[in-house]
Amino acid sequence: MLLTVYGATIVTLMMLFYAFESRSHWFTMAFAVACLGSAAYGFLAGTWPFGVVESIWSLVALHKWRELRAR
The reported pLDDT for the residue numbered 34 is 97
Q: How many CB atoms lie under 10 A from the CB of residue 44? A: 12
How many angstroms separate the CA atoms of 10 and 68, rounded? 23
| Cβ-proximal residues to 34 (8 Å cutoff; 6+ apart), any chain | 10, 13, 14, 17
Domain count of the fold of the chain: 1
Domain of 56 in residue numbering reads as 1-70
Closest CA to 40 of 51, 53, 56: 51
Three-state SS letters, 1-23: CHHHHHHHHHHHHHHHHHHCHHH
Tens of pLDDT, residues 19-62: 999 999 999 999 999 999 999 999 999 999 999 999 999 999 99
